[in-house]
Amino acid sequence: MKIPLSAADITEKEISAVVNVLNGERLSMGNAIVKFEKIFTKYTKRKYAVAVNSGTSALHLIVRALGLQKGDEVITTPFSFIASSNCLLFEDVTPVFVDIERETYNIDVSKIEEKITQKTKAILAVDVFGVPALWDKLIKIAKKHKLKLIQDSCEALGAEFKGRKIGSFGDAATFAFYPNKQITTAEGGMVLTDNKNIADLCKSMRNQGRDNMQTWFGHVRLGYNYRLSEMQAALGIVQMTRIKEILKKREIVAKYYEENLKDIPGIKIPENISYGKRSWFVYVIELGNKFNRKDRDKIMKLLRGQGVSCSNYFSPIHLQPFYRKLFNFKRGYFPVTDYVSDRTIALPFFNKLTEKKVIYITQKLKKIILSL
């Protein structure tokens, strides 16, 4: 048996939508991308959506659209996928890390203000593993210190904070559509904002800096090719028509895990959150404090030996080799992040994961943990 870490949920509907595009006239910059964007403005109740070719591109465009530049500091989390910090480095902006909360793994809002300096221009918070960050507090801090607020919701499509959809907070927000995310376009991302200027700038910059009059050789600013193809947009449209079903399926798989993991001693499973709704992105367990990083790595190796894919979500950003080199980061600088990232394991998680397979995975895990 070989169980992958993730797998996209593609039906005949997605396949025929993509084939229809291929049989049509426009493979890029047609109606599908416009429709895909409209679905997102409706879903998040945002005014503007700009579809791009990855979540990383979406973050990069927001950083540029907000005018962040060399010398500026942006407060963010070290416990995330590396793109949420790299988007700052692209523009020589300095990421200033704030440690995370023990329970939610999200940025610890109580530690943000002590890191604000004259150079601080924005906060970039991440809804890690689909768990909403504390957006009311983040908005308050941003307002008080006149900072921009960026919401990286690349892992959190469908989540809610106090009844309001994730992706609707901050000056701008992002989603991503890599195959392991809640919905996929194979590769893709989205910028959401209520600010017309930000939306116009992002639209222009995704398309080689063209002005929005679409004069093909009127380049008014530095831009990129961050366009999403019509095939990808068509795929995304169908996925979004299935979003309720997809989120429900993920909840059911999480339930299977919960039921089968609760009697394994010495591990912590994801808990319900009181202030909103999580959108299941990955299923991450945390080993108890009698285990260390070596134990964790051994458990992962033994699991893989049984055909169970797993991963150390996340290996923290500040300890990545090139971040260490650039900023001289060391273990101990962000102790909660270090502690958590030494003990977390992401188990296989995708819509089509059956109860039978979850039972297989959890039994193997139990056996391994009890043998240590």
Ligand X SMILES: *Cc1c(COP(=O)(O)O)cnc(C)c1O
Residues β-bridged to residue 219: 210
d(CA 123, CA 164): 20
Burial class (CB in 10 A: 0-12, 13-18, 19+), 118: exposed
Instruction: Give the CA dihedral 233, 234, 238, 241, nearest 10 degrees.
Output: 60
Q: Does 314 sit near ligand X (CB under 6 A)?
A: no
Task: Name the residue nearer to ligand X (CB basis): 85 or 204.
Answer: 85
- Min dist CB 194 to ligand X, Å, is 21
Task: Name the residue nearer to ligand X (CB basis): 59 or 142.
Answer: 59
- The one among 79, 105, 178, 334 contacting ligand X by CB under 6 A: 178
- The one among 21, 176, 233, 340 contacting ligand X by CB under 6 A: 176
Q: Which stretch binds ligand X (CB under 6 A): 27-35, 151-159, 263-271, 345-353?
A: 151-159
* Under 8 Å between Cβ of 345 and 285: yes
Strand ranges, E, within the chain: 48-52, 73-76, 94-97, 120-126, 148-152, 160-161, 164-165, 172-176, 189-193, 267-268, 276-277, 283-287, 344-347
Give the number of other CB atoms < 10 A from CB of residue 70: 8
Q: Kindly state the number of chain residues that form the binding site for ligand X, as judged by CB under 6 A.
A: 14
Task: Name the residue nearer to ligand X (CB basis): 178 or 360.
Answer: 178
d(CA 254, CA 264): 16
Q: Does 54 sit near ligand X (CB under 6 A)?
A: yes
Look up tokens 């895909």; give the residue. 36
Q: Which stretch binds ligand X (CB under 6 A): 52-60, 100-108, 212-220, 328-336?
A: 52-60
- Min dist CB 372 to ligand X, Å, is 30
x/- map, 63-92, ligand X, by CB under 6 A: -----------------xx-xx--------
d(CA 83, CA 185): 18
* Under 8 Å between Cβ of 95 and 72: no
d(CA 294, CA 280): 27
Task: Name the residue nearer to ligand X (CB basis): 59 or 308.
Answer: 59
Q: Which stretch binds ligand X (CB under 6 A): 53-61, 131-139, 200-208, 350-358?
A: 53-61
Q: Does 9 sit near ligand X (CB under 6 A)?
A: no
- 332 φ/ψ sector (left φ>0, alpha ψ -120 to 50, else beta): left
- The one among 95, 130, 158, 189 contacting ligand X by CB under 6 A: 189
Task: Name the residue nearer to ligand X (CB basis): 152 or 230.
Answer: 152
| Both structure tokens of 106 | 């999200």
Task: Name the residue nearer to ligand X (CB basis): 124 or 238.
Answer: 124
- Min dist CB 81 to ligand X, Å, is 4
Task: Name the residue nearer to ligand X (CB basis): 161 or 256.
Answer: 161
* Under 8 Å between Cβ of 253 and 280: yes
- Min dist CB 321 to ligand X, Å, is 19
* Under 8 Å between Cβ of 130 and 281: yes
Q: Does 154 sit near ligand X (CB under 6 A)?
A: yes
Site for ligand X in 235-294 (CB under 6 A): none
- The one among 37, 43, 44, 55 contacting ligand X by CB under 6 A: 55
- Tell me the residue nearest to ligand X as measured from the CB: 55
Task: Name the residue nearer to ligand X (CB basis): 155 or 342.
Answer: 155
d(CA 121, CA 145): 9
- The one among 109, 126, 150, 183 contacting ligand X by CB under 6 A: 126
Task: Name the residue nearer to ligand X (CB basis): 51 or 368.
Answer: 51
Element (H, E) at 196: helix 196-206
Positions touching ligand X (CB under 6 A) are 54-56, 80-81, 83-84, 126, 152, 154-155, 176, 178, 189
